Amino acid sequence: MKIKEAENIFKSNGGQLKMTEALGLGISRYMLYTMKDKGMLNQVARGVYRLKSMPIQSEYDIVTVCSIFPKAVIFLISALFYHKMTTQIPYDVYIAIPTNTRIRLPDYPPIKSYRISQNTYSAGIEEHIIDGVKIKIYDPEKTLVDCFRFRNKVGLDVAIEALKFYRERGRMNLIKISEYAKICKVEKVIHPYIEAVI
């Protein structure tokens, strides 16, 4: 098998394969190591390989991160991207973890982790299954509140844009937003923006 054939097999399978999957599709261990040595593949986890040429931030990145860190909750820009509430393209997977959690970040995918208190960490978590992996992600309302809370990190313009996308859905849950804003202590910050769009 030629490298181009192996690359096409990766592409036709979403750009990421476990070694067992690659072997089952006819890609040898030698070919995997050759592609990795040539800079065509990243080893994203033990026995998991991903094409470097694949688009930045995909569901595969989220699945990889949540597989490695079960306590991680998809957060900020990554959560906005998932909920289609931003024009930003995340180059990192943003995650929230409890304050007392220690993690060792892998080389790939790039991760931005934020340690937050238990009550703000546990509020607003949704669970989804992607490729058989349980994904924790904050719901749209908590994501919106988090962006105003971390406006110095993501930019106030990103938070305001997210609010506009959220409003355009036509089903604003002001009660949830107020509850999360109280938990995150950003009621005074977010309320003027909410009042401006309702």
Per-residue pLDDT tens for 31-88?
A: 999 999 998 988 766 677 878 876 555 677 888 888 888 899 999 999 999 999 998 8
Q: What percent of the chain stands above pLDDT 90?
A: 60
Across the chain, mean pLDDT equals 89
Question: Which range marks the domain in which residue 170 is found?
Answer: 59-197
Structure confidence at residue 55 (pLDDT) = 59
The CA-based diameter of the chain, rounded to the nearest angstrom, is 62
Q: Measure Cα distances from 100 to 41, 67, 104 in Å.
A: 34, 20, 13
Task: For the beta carbon of residue 165, count every other beta carbon within 10 angstroms.
Answer: 16
Of 15, 31, 51, the residue that ends a domain is 51
Q: Which residues contact 79 (CB under 8 A, 6 or more apart)?
A: 94, 137, 138, 143, 146
Whether residues 26 and 100 fall in one domain: no
CB-facing half-sphere around the CA of 176: CA atoms within 13 A? 15
Structure confidence at residue 149 (pLDDT) = 97
- Model-level pTM? 0.73
Whether residues 117 and 187 fall in one domain: yes
Q: Where are the alpha helices (DSSP H) in the chain?
A: 3-12, 19-24, 29-37, 59-68, 76-82, 118-122, 140-149, 151-154, 156-168, 174-184, 187-197
Count of structural domains within the chain: 2
Mean pLDDT of 18-33: 91
Cβ atoms of residues 54 and 16 within 8 Å = yes
Whether residues 171 and 78 fall in one domain: yes
Whether residues 16 and 87 fall in one domain: no
Q: What is the CA radius of gyration of the chain?
A: 19
> For residue 16, what pLDDT band results from cuts at 50, 70 and 90?
confident
Q: What digits encode the pLDDT tens for the residues 93-145?
A: 999 999 988 888 877 778 999 999 999 999 999 999 887 788 999 999 999 99
